[in-house]
């Protein structure tokens, strides 16, 4: 498989987590397929394969053999004007009424002996045919899974149907079939609501763009737009690409990227993102990224792929469901050997429900990930929800994370006779191509004084130290105290550090030429957000910064947290590992650029203000799409609430099945009531999990 190719194919007909397993198994068996990732919410499969051994028609045939369909063409991402979700409340109301009425009829019908009379009046072959016809979709899936040597949730209930038919209880079998179909519909309904988050995101993507060509404007499909093209955006239109504003001015609604409804102003030089809306004003935008490569495209991909990072509790539930069938079969066998009562044995098989174990986690995770995405909070999978819910240690970067990341230069101290203008010109020129926020502060100060920057030669950036370049035949170094080597700090540095300022030292031809002091402001919402984290159970919050001791101490004192100063990027990784070795679950919060290694090492890496930042989105496990610290406790809240729902689901399922199996085994629960009872935990779990869709 030297020349592997990756392809995404849409898959229709998947309504549950087991559906994805069927599709994955069917495709995986094809020769030349290396890996398959089937996504329920996105309704697609991502396949890595050898094109010399397998092609799309073979994949389409394999999927069809599993009972699903690969469309001949990619469907329109725009949803219809009215969907099932538009009628959520009335549909749920009707659904609840129908279910309640049927359950009432079953309970009282058994008490009054109706089912015995029906069984006597209707011949067994007719009843058998009714069960077979209405249960055909379920039985077909079970047979296909069995031929593939798979055990699915409906396998156990199908065994119960067979047991009911074997003892002449075809009416009981019909009740089982009815509730299986009702349960399937309820799961489809809940999954479809959770899937709506991805559909809504996908539908936001513009399908056309207005290009400037040869002095005229022409509308073209988005697939024809290339980087470098100039796009025209009119008031009220969606921006179709990521790009830079060439001219014009507009108010941009960036809710599609950041989840924030407050608009921002964009003018010449500003970065704009696909799927955002120019509410007022028009723009000429030079394209930098198109389609799936845009920030919005990466956001959609993250949400789609989130379900593949499954929580450990979900894996445990899946394994339990696999072994549950032989356990129930064993209980049924023991029941028959002890009681010699075939009805009690059938009741044991009928009341046991393995669906609830399979449903307990994935629906809850899918619902939370979809709801969070609407608020600008991108979670890469259930695994990180589970870890975040039990996190007890939060480590935080300073610049661009705790602070606004837009420091301003406050002091210029000359030390070797250079004029202030010359010192600032050399420093700003050396920092000309640096991406550090302090470098921008130096350049901004030079621009404010109308100083002309020079072109640096031999530019080198050293993380944790600073930059080095040759400017106008002068070797210039700008950076932290580390560039001084063994040279002692000048007296002026100590006084500036006491004021909580960050210092940049400037050396010219290896001689200390001056000190630049900058200050950055804390985000106003940060203190309240940190207090909320402590209230939610985070025991330790610590500031990790490359700044000096005095500056770090001043900021940490304002926030009431611990700190470590003078750190290099590798030091932050070491500290993360140190806490992990001690048994802590560590969350690292950073800006996603300098902190990318520490974000990746942490149990959960959270990137602050990741909108438009490639490194942030890729390195972090959770991305906060806007620079707002209130999103951090919200992420913890979503995670903790989700895990509470999952634990409630699992606990309820466990207790319900133990009680049901016990009552059935000792003969208290007859087959017909056992058939009705087996569907209740599924509906309870679906209803409980659907609450997560309404997270505010």
Indicate if 111 and 191 belong to the same structural domain. yes
Do residues 454 and 425 lie in contact, with contact meaning Cβ atoms separated by under 8 Å? Answer: yes
pLDDT of residue 9: 87
The count of structural domains within the chain is 5
The per-residue pLDDT for range 653-677, each reduced to its tens digit, is: 888 888 988 998 998 888 777 777 7
Alpha helices, DSSP H only, in 283-352? 295-305, 312-339, 342-351
Is residue 202 situated within a structural domain?
no
Indicate if 140 and 123 belong to the same structural domain. yes
The three-state DSSP-derived secondary structure of 149-208 is: CCCCHHHHHHHHHHHHHHCCCHHHHHHHHHHHHHHHHHHHHHHHHHHHHHHHHHHHCCCE
Is residue 73 situated within a structural domain?
no
Q: Does the pLDDT at position 593 exceed 80?
A: no
Report the C-alpha dihedral over residues 137, 140, 142, 145, rounded to 10 degrees: -130
Mean pLDDT of the chain: 80
Among 244, 265, 297, which residue terminates a domain? 297
Do residues 611 and 254 lie in contact, with contact meaning Cβ atoms separated by under 8 Å? Answer: yes
Indicate if 554 and 435 belong to the same structural domain. no
The per-residue pLDDT for range 484-542, each reduced to its tens digit, is: 887 888 878 888 887 778 888 999 888 898 999 988 778 889 999 999 999 998 999 99
Q: Most distant CA pair in the chain: distance in Å? A: 111
Pick 75 or 201 by higher pLDDT. 201
Q: Does the pLDDT at position 6 exceed 80?
A: yes
CATH of the domain at 290: 2.70.150.10
pLDDT of residue 80: 40
Indicate if 191 and 314 belong to the same structural domain. yes
Pick 277 or 593 by higher pLDDT. 277
pLDDT of residue 582: 94
- Percent of the residues in the chain that have a pLDDT greater than 70, as a whole number: 80
Q: Does the pLDDT at position 85 exceed 50?
A: no
Indicate if 592 and 681 belong to the same structural domain. no
**DSSP H or E run through 479:** strand 474-479
CATH of the domain at 420: 3.40.1110.10
Among 519, 548, 576, which residue terminates a domain? 519
Is residue 78 situated within a structural domain?
no
Across 162-166, 607-611, 630-634, the highest mean pLDDT is recorded for 630-634
Do residues 412 and 421 lie in contact, with contact meaning Cβ atoms separated by under 8 Å? Answer: no
Other CB atoms within 10 Å distance of the CB of residue 149: 7
Is residue 667 situated within a structural domain?
yes
Residue that the structure tokens 């919060």 belong to: 589
pLDDT of residue 255: 67
Residue 82: pLDDT band with limits 50, 70, 90: very low
Q: Does the pLDDT at position 75 exceed 70?
A: no
Among 519, 549, 584, which residue terminates a domain? 519
pLDDT of residue 533: 93
Please confirm, yes or no, whether 411 is among the known catalytic residues.
no
Residue that the structure tokens 């593949």 belong to: 308
Q: Does the pLDDT at position 594 exceed 90?
A: no
Indicate if 308 and 191 belong to the same structural domain. yes
pLDDT of residue 485: 80
The per-residue pLDDT for range 229-244, each reduced to its tens digit, is: 999 998 888 899 999 9
The per-residue pLDDT for range 351-365, each reduced to its tens digit, is: 886 666 667 777 788
* Least trusted range by pLDDT, from 40-44, 129-133, 227-231, 500-504: 40-44
Mean pLDDT value of segment 217-224 = 88
Is residue 76 situated within a structural domain?
no
Mean pLDDT value of segment 174-202 = 67
The per-residue pLDDT for range 538-586, each reduced to its tens digit, is: 999 999 987 778 778 888 888 889 999 888 778 888 999 999 999 999 9
Residue 641: pLDDT band with limits 50, 70, 90: very high
Indicate if 538 and 679 belong to the same structural domain. no
| Candidate list 242, 318, 397, 520, residue with the active-site label | 397
Q: Which structural domain range is residue 279 located in?
A: 208-297
* Least trusted range by pLDDT, from 17-31, 327-341, 473-487, 631-645: 17-31
CATH of the domain at 35: 3.30.70.100
Indicate if 474 and 593 belong to the same structural domain. no
Task: Tell me the C-alpha distance between 464 and 477, whole Å.
Answer: 13
Is residue 71 situated within a structural domain?
no
- CB neighbour list of residue 629: distance below 8 Å, 6 or more residues apart: 523, 525, 526, 529, 530, 608
The per-residue pLDDT for range 137-150, each reduced to its tens digit, is: 888 878 877 777 77
Indicate if 108 and 193 belong to the same structural domain. yes
Q: Does the pLDDT at position 598 exceed 80?
A: yes
Indicate if 274 and 238 belong to the same structural domain. yes
Is residue 370 situated within a structural domain?
no
CA angle 291/297/302 to nearest 5° reads 155
Is residue 72 situated within a structural domain?
no
Do residues 602 and 587 lie in contact, with contact meaning Cβ atoms separated by under 8 Å? Answer: yes
Indicate if 416 and 492 belong to the same structural domain. yes
Q: Does the pLDDT at position 183 exceed 80?
A: no
Indicate if 310 and 191 belong to the same structural domain. yes
């Amino acid at each position: 498989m030297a020349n592997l190719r990756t392809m995404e194919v849409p898959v229709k007909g998947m309504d549950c987590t087991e559906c994805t397993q069927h599709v994955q198994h069917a495709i995986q068996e094809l020769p030349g397929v290396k890996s398959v990732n089937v996504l329920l919410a996105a309704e697609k499969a991502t396949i890595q394969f050898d094109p010399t051994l397998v092609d799309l028609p073979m994949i389409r045939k394999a999927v069809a053999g599993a009972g699903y369909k690969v469309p001949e063409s990619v469907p329109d991402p725009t949803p219809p004007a009215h969907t099932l979700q538009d009628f959520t409340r009335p549909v749920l109301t009707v659904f609840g009424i129908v279910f309640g009425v049927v359950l009432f009829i079953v309970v009282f019908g058994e008490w009054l002996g109706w089912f015995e009379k029906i069984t006597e009046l209707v011949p067994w072959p007719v009843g058998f045919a009714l069960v077979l016809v209405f249960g055909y979709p379920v039985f077909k899936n079970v047979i296909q899974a069995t031929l593939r040597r798979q055990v699915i949730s409906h396998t156990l209930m199908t065994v119960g149907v067979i047991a009911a038919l074997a003892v002449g209880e075809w009416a009981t079998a019909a009740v089982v079939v009815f509730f299986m179909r009702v349960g399937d519909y309820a799961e489809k309904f809940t999954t479809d609501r959770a899937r709506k988050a991805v559909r809504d995101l996908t539908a936001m993507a513009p399908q056309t763009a207005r290009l400037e060509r040869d002095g005229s404007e022409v509308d073209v499909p988005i697939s024809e737009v290339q980087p470098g093209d100039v796009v025209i955006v009119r008031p009220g239109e969606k921006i179709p690409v990521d790009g830079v504003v060439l001219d014009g001015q507009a108010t941009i609604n960036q809710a599609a990227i950041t989840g924030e409804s407050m608009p921002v102003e964009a003018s010449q030089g500003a970065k704009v993102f696909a799927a955002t809306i120019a509410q007022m004003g028009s723009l000429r935008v030079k394209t930098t990224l198109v389609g799936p490569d845009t920030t919005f495209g990466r956001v959609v991909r993250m949400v789609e792929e989130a379900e593949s990072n499954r929580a450990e509790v979900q894996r445990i539930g899946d394994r339990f469901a696999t072994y549950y069938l032989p356990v129930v079969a064993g209980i049924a066998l023991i029941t028959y050997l002890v009681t010699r009562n075939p009805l009690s044995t059938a009741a044991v098989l009928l009341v046991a429900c393995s669906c609830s174990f399979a449903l307990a986690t994935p629906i809850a995770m899918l619902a939370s990930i979809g709801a969070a995405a609407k608020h600008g909070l991108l979670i890469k999978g259930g695994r990180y929800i589970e870890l975040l819910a039990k996190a007890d240690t939060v480590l935080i970067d300073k610049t661009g994370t705790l602070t606004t990341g837009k420091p301003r230069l406050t002091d210029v101290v000359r030390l070797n006779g250079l004029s202030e203008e010359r010192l600032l010109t050399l420093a700003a020129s050396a920092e000309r191509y640096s991406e550090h926020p302090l470098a921008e502060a130096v350049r901004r100060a030079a621009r404010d004084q109308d100083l002309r920057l020079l072109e640096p030669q031999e530019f080198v950036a050293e993380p944790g130290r600073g930059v080095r370049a040759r400017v106008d035949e002068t070797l210039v170094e700008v950076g932290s105290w580390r560039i001084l080597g063994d040279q002692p700090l000048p007296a002026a540095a100590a006084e500036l550090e006491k004021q909580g300022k960050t210092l940049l030292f400037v050396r010219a031809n290896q001689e200390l030429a001056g000190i630049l002091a900058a200050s950055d402001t804390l985000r106003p919402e940060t203190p309240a957000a940190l207090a909320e984290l402590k209230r939610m159970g985070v025991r330790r919050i610590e500031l990790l910064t490359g700044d000096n001791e005095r500056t770090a101490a001043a900021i940490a004192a304002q926030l009431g947290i611990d700190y470590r100063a003078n750190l290099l990027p590798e030091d932050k990784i070491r500290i993360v590992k140190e806490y992990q070795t001690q048994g802590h679950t560590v969350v690292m919060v950073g800006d996603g650029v300098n902190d990318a290694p520490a974000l990746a090492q942490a149990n959960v890496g959270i990137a602050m203000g990741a909108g438009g930042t490639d490194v942030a989105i890729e390195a972090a496990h959770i991305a906060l799409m806007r620079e707002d610290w209130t999103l951090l406790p919200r992420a913890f809240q979503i995670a903790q609430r989700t895990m509470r729902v999952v634990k409630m689901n699992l606990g309820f399922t466990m207790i319900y099945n133990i009680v049901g199996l016990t009552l059935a085994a000792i003969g208290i629960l007859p087959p017909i009531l056992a058939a009705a009872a087996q569907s209740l935990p599924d509906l309870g779990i679906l209803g409980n999990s659907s609450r997560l869709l309404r997270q505010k």
